[in-house]
Structure 1
């Protein structure tokens, strides 16, 4: 009778098997929660070098508003920026607790992008399965958009979060059309409306998804009825901000040009903050049509294309243009979920390799969007052509190094173009330096808070506003004119010329810093 070697005891595995036995449960636990890795990756991406980019003037607009009491914020919203009111109020209370450092100002948007990546993964799981959900969430987390706008103190990251949450809530409601699920969907629509009305363009794609589900089950009236009720509730709740937003649109978005076909082609690179990555993600999304879940592929494709085409038509032929990439980040969750569905059709190694390729395609842009002056490129990767980025931090360092007690400050912003925010940005960075230098602004008139506006007024009587300052630091938008005094309002220019002479001028990116001494 042949003898067989005894099997090794189960309690004594070899070293290699021991490592695998420990690693596999951990790996399964991480990948089983499809939202976790995308959220962690997006969080890491947002936190990396978060304080390096200088605040640009849109972020300074946020800063000047959120410093005001809630009543003053509400009063301002009646005149300007009503569409950002919810974000301003939330940030007012956040900074009251967390402070105003660049990290504190940007941390909420980092968390919002992490939440958007998590919701995208969960939506992708419902559309194409667990592996697709994980891959889709990771694709979103890899986009330079998550880093760039996760590190901007504006509402666009929260719009992306609400769009991802709305897609997830819709899928849950279509799966089981109960009142609580449609109520949750309605809440995401209301939240989207109060963060950025334009983002509700995704309802065109959602309506198509509801129609497809209804055609598959014609007697399931609860799906179209629930969707209609949720949309109606959102419209009713959003009506006040819609009215104010329409009244204010000329001032706020009048500068956006009507798009042509070239802009329709260019916008995809802006959505992903990377032209190469945009091509890769859209190609991966097209592959999803080769899988068995055609309805999900249709919903994802509609979520990418329909809102963009709708806004292009409205902007091309309507009274105002909304066609700028950062207004359309709400399509990213659908695009990345669709890409996850395409990547998941490959074997595991192939999917991981494809994800790595997407990461490599995005790498140059990941570096670029973290540059010190990167935030001024508000249509990245398009080149910035009409102004030089303003380095408020460098200008503040010049003033900090040379200021003395009793000095004053003045800010030249192309005469009346107060929206450059030099009078906000330079004092902000002065206060971040060890000396905490604070200089009286001899140009300041009525504050923005008292005017119920974003920006302050200028001093109506420059002679009276000038006290006994021996020196004035004039920080100006630098347009290349050697006469730095021409950057201030004409009456103030005459006053400064009578009492002061320019002793020295320093130039940093986009700004000149002039030291004026009394005659």
Structure 2
């Protein structure tokens, strides 16, 4: 059964690391990896020599992108493969210390480890160095066990360690901890009065010296480069750091660890147990239980990095005036997650050798808890609209010679990952507060080289320039052509070119969705498949061919029954009417679909349509989107209300609003306000936000207004706009009519809905556009 279960562990590891691989955003470190991979070798060296990591991984990534492409999935796939490879290698490493059954448990523990899964889904070097760390440890054990007689093992160890050092500076923890372990093993041999293993001592010194020699050229270049002095970071308490490192290697949890204290105690006990047979004879595994005490070589090779690495990382993170100190992050401990998994498996096996049922329960609970934490990680990760909308807007309307100014520039690697290539880039530093003079100097520099500047304003801009000096300086030098806002980011085009505009798009749609007519829909852009309630969905549609100037586009979010939960209809490009479009130009329109915070979670369909001046409407499918609850990992779909059309009503307006009842005042109009209370029920969201009108109309002429309206109130139908009403929702609104003295005669009170942007009223099934709520006579 060992082989099938090992294959199952490898398959599970691959599936977990591949699952939703592209469904979370490229973050700063990943974007920096891509940035270096896109550079020439010379530029990449110049970058990495001033960076915190050596260049080898970026060179490998550079070769990979030529084969795989530029998508997040393509960049992350090597980490998936290497993370999966670590599982069978962990089994192989465990076999040097334990039985097949225990080794299999170690492989399963690593396969479902949250931290290892997380780093296996990033465009970073951590899974590569984990594999190298396993290989170096295997060779270390083989060298000690064989007495150092095979020169090929020494050579292989040296090559692996040299490759690791050129991949990650922190990989130096591997030879460091193994050297300390080797010294301890030599001392152990001396205390046992065994013959001195001079071959191992000499070979170890020579091999490490050669490794260091291979690293000298890069180290010299690194130390001679000019870089900013290391920033003084905040160092946390040592015990807290060790607790975080322990829970991270066991279950991938490194934050909010206080509730995990009981689990951490169990993990610590299990971690210590494999050392017991080496230092005492009070607990030996019972015979024929499938567990055996690990060899001294294995104990040294496994414990040295697991125990010493967190201490070394903490020491390096202490403030120093010379070199970069890594931020205290458990990602640096991931090198030794396989070693810890083996020690955990050995500890559980030792428990099982005396208390079989307890050992089995601990093993199953461990794997189950790891699956839960890993599942929470994967379900909590989804791609948001980071720079996708803004980058697509740039691709559509940027021209050769334009420049982008990041204001501020702290997030520039992520922006460059998404942005079109070929645009010059300027940055407004986050380290200096902007004054009128400094902002003017920046703007002069930009416009000295470029006629058009795309100003991208980010959150940091409000910290370094709360008075908006940079934007004002740009506004004084060029006119605003267009502007688009996505969450906390705003992209504005300023140009001194009198002919500059954002009319015809230079880009083509990502998705084809034809809708014939004039104008014709060609396709659309859409960047996220999941979002959270309370956020906004951004889409762009592409149109071709002239049409009526007042033609409108509509985007709708619909449930499985086709009912709209939110709609957004606007005149298509009011700044560039469809009647003026050249027949062959591709015109792009932006759409924003705001979602209410209480939108039921679930899967919805998106549609894009066109409304003509005669009221005709046609739409096409634009895919599905998953909506999650705000601040949650998702949740199941909420129950959809029963079809509201079957409920009793006194009037239905269009296919979206039902007036269920009206409460009228008992008194006649006079000195007191005449308050009409209406109870609305939504059939679905309306295309546009509608306004309720309530009028008191007589047969005579009101001398004040010159028409037959003697009192009127126009207010939104409810606190929630009608284009965001959920099917089945109820709203009660009051409308107060200020009525003075009325001439004698008959009157009627009417109520209805209309679009305040067009003045068009919503129609009822009988063709009327209002409901008569009351008739009365004065006196």
Tell me whether the two structures share a fold, i.e. TM-score over 0.5.
Answer: yes
Higher helix share: 1
Question: Are residues 459 and 240 of structure 1, via their aligned partners in 2, closer, same or farther at CA, if it must alter by over 3 Å?
Answer: farther
Residues 496, 367 of structure 1: alpha-carbon distance in 2 compared, 3 angstrom cutoff: farther
Contact 2:390 2:486 in 1 (8 A): no
Compared CA separation, residues 169 and 219, structure 1 to 2 (3 A): same
Give deviations 1:450-497, integer Å, cap 9, x for gaps: xxxxxxxx9973224443x6xx7643322484999978x94x761345
Partner of 2:31: 60
* Residue 268, structure 1, aligned to residue 246, structure 2: yes
Q: Is the 8 A contact 1:136 1:336 kept in 2?
A: yes
The aligned counterpart of 1:229 is: 206
Aligned to 1:285: 271
Supply the distance in 2 between the matched residues of 1:424 and 1:195 (Cα, whole angstroms): 23
The 3-state SS of whatever aligns with 1:128 is coil
1:257 CA displacement: 3.7
The whole-number CA distance in structure 2 between the counterparts of 1:410 and 1:105 is 27
Q: Give 1 or 2: higher strand fraction.
A: 2
1:30 aligned partner: 4
Residues in 2 aligned to 1:121 and 1:256: alpha-carbon distance in whole angstroms:
38
What is aligned with 1:301? 303
Deviation of the 1:71 alpha carbon: 3.4
Q: 1:73-472 to 2 correspondence within 5 Å? A: 73-77=44-48, 79-81=49-51, 83-176=53-146, 177=148, 178-211=150-183, 213-214=185-186, 215=189, 217-246=194-223, 251=228, 254=231, 256-261=233-238, 262-271=240-249, 273-275=252-254, 276=260, 281-291=267-277, 292-293=293-294, 295=296, 296-316=298-318, 318-319=320-321, 320=323, 321-322=325-326, 323-345=328-350, 346=352, 353-370=361-378, 393-397=385-389, 400=392, 405=397, 413-415=406-408, 417-427=409-419, 438=420, 441=423, 443-444=425-426, 461-467=445-451
CA contact (8 A) 1:412 1:477 kept: no
Give distance in 1, aligned partners of 2:228 and 2:172: 21
Superposition deviation, residue 173 in structure 1: 1.7
Conserved in 2, the CA contact under 8 Å of 1:484 and 1:512?
A: no
**Secondary structure of 2:489's match?**
strand
Match for 1:506 among 485, 504, 507? Answer: 485
Between 1 and 2, higher relative CO (CA 8 Å, sep ≥ 6) is seen in 1
1:128/1:401 Cα in 2 relative to 1: closer, same or farther (>3 Å)?
A: same
Q: Could you say if the C-alpha distance between residues 497 and 45 of structure 1 is closer, same or farther in structure 2, counting changes exceeding 3 Å?
A: farther
The number of equivalent residue pairs is 443
CA–CA separation in structure 2 for the residues paired with 1:225 and 1:483:
58
Q: What's the secondary structure of 2:388's corresponding residue?
A: helix
CA distance in 2, matches of 1:266, 1:74: 34
CA contact (8 A) 2:135 2:160 kept: yes
Q: Distance in 1 between matches of 2:17 and 2:230?
A: 28
> Whole-Å Cα distance in 2 between the matches of residues 402 and 62 of structure 1?
23
Q: Distance in 1 between matches of 2:33 and 2:482?
A: 35
Do the aligned residues in 2 keep the contact of 1:82 with 1:245 (CA within 8 Å)?
Answer: no
Contact between 2:143 and 2:200, CA under 8 Å: does it hold in 1? yes
Distance 2:481 2:363 in 1: 57
Which piece of structure 1 moves more, 322-331 or 174-183?
322-331
CA shift digits 1:404-429 (9 cap, x unpaired): 545797655444x35542541332xx
Query: In the TM superposition, what is the alpha-carbon distance from 1:349 to its structure 2 partner?
Result: 7.0
- The structure having more radius of gyration, on CA atoms, is 2
Q: CA deviation at 1:213?
A: 4.7
Counterpart for residue 380 of structure 1: none
SS of the residue corresponding to residue 490 of structure 2 reads: strand
2:474 to 465, 489, 495: 495
Residues 91, 104 of structure 2: 8 Å contact kept: yes
- Residue range with higher mean Cα deviation, 200-209 or 394-403: 394-403
CA distance in 1, matches of 2:306, 2:201: 22
CA RMSD of aligned residues (A): 3.8
Structure 2 unaligned regions, length at least 5: 255-259, 278-292, 428-441, 499-779
State the distance in 1 between where 2:128 and 2:264 align. Answer: 21
- What is the CA deviation profile of residues 167-212 of structure 1, one whole-angstrom value per residue up to 9, with x for unaligned ones? 1111122222211112222222112211112222233432354345
Quick one: structure 1 residues 250 and 258, their matched pair in 2 at CA, closer, same or farther if it must change by over 3 Å?
A: farther
Alpha-carbon distance in structure 2 between the residues aligned to 1:52 and 1:212: 46
Structure 1, unpaired ranges of 5+? 1-26, 376-390, 428-437, 446-457
Normalised to the residue count of structure 2, the TM-score between the two structures is 0.50
Deviations 1:136-189 (A, max 9, x none): 222122211222111111112212111111111111222222111122222221
Q: Distance in 2 between matches of 1:30 and 1:263?
A: 38
Q: Does the 8 Å CA contact 1:476/1:512 hold for their aligned counterparts?
A: yes
Aligned to 1:16: none
Distance 1:37 1:252 in 2: 49
| TM-score of the aligned structures, taking structure 1 as reference length | 0.73
Decide whether aligned partners of structure 1 residues 174 and 403 sit closer, same or farther in structure 2, where only a CA change above 3 A counts: closer
CA contact 2:25–2:386 (8 Å) conserved in 1: no
